[in-house]
Amino acid sequence: MGRVRYRTVCELEDREDDQSEIGKGYELTRDQVIPITDEDLGNRPLPTAKAIEIDAFVAMEDIDPIRMGAGYYLAPGQQVAAKPYKLLVEALRRSSRVAIAKYAWSGRERLGMLRIRGDALLLQELLWPDEIRDPAELLPSPAEVSENEIEGALALMDSMTVDALEGEEFTDRYTEAIAEIIEAKRDQKPLPEAPEPEQPTQVLDLMAALNESVQKDKASRAGSAGPAQVHELPEPNKKEAAKKTAAKKTAAKKTAAKKIAAKKTAAKKTAAKKTTGHRPRSA
């Protein structure tokens, strides 16, 4: 039960390094590293090294959410900054815009978004355009969905719509489970039994799966305060149903024809085997 510690060891001298001996460097090749000192970084021509520089103001809806990262509250460093801080908060509030800024973080220049939360300024990380992957290569093969299936998905969305991200559905169950394990181990009690995870079923009929999901959601919300607005799934299109029935019949006919052909072929091969004579082995 001893604590594990990680130590830094020099590969060339095979000895443990002191923190003061460790510096930064850029690996140009496997055998060539260009050292970068704190002095070099301190004197670099970067105006955002010690300040947040605002470059533009935009409407928040114009920023793709995929570019947004973690958020950090900003506080005025000195009392003299209190008035400009308040001025920027009120200007952003009335304009309904956000500020796009550059700042230095962990040795590199980053892009960020300044927005208000209550009466505070919040700096939210933004990814540079070249840091976002093109999703085209990840798309599945082309597939067609019917209008009824889209209406069914909308009905499911309506049944699951909530007014706020609050309640038991939005609690961190993993952290709660870890707390239960720690408490049980501390009191030397048996660990709580984990519930059996639901096995995902293969989707064969999309409309049936959507209908089942709507019914499950209706049942789970039956005991909650305020009934959820649940829309019934649309009736299947008669033409589409007729097409599917005709396709099934055609497939059944083809299958039956294949079976008959297979039986006839097998019978011929069997007959051929029976007709062919074999010379008896000599004693």
DSSP string, 183-198: HHHHTT-PPPPPPPPP
How confident is the model at residue 102, as a pLDDT?
93
Extract the tokens encoding 277: 């004579």
Phi-psi region of 147 (alpha: psi -120 to 50; beta: other; left: phi over 0): alpha
Low-confidence ranges of the chain (pLDDT < 50): 225, 227-228, 230, 238-239, 241-242, 244-245, 247-249, 251-283
- Percent of the chain whose predicted confidence (pLDDT) is above 90: 29
Sorted by where each starts, the structural domains of the chain and their CATH numbers stand as 53-131 (2.40.290.10), 143-161+201-221+228-237 (no CATH)
Q: Read off the pLDDT of residues 18-32 as tens digits, 9 standing for 90 and up.
A: 888 888 899 999 889
What DSSP character marks residue 71?
Answer: E
How confident is the model at residue 89, as a pLDDT?
94
How confident is the model at residue 48, as a pLDDT?
67
How confident is the model at residue 198, as a pLDDT?
73
How confident is the model at residue 210, as a pLDDT?
77
Residues whose CB is less than 8 angstroms from the CB of residue 168 and which lie 6 or more positions away in sequence, other chains included: none
How confident is the model at residue 283, as a pLDDT?
34
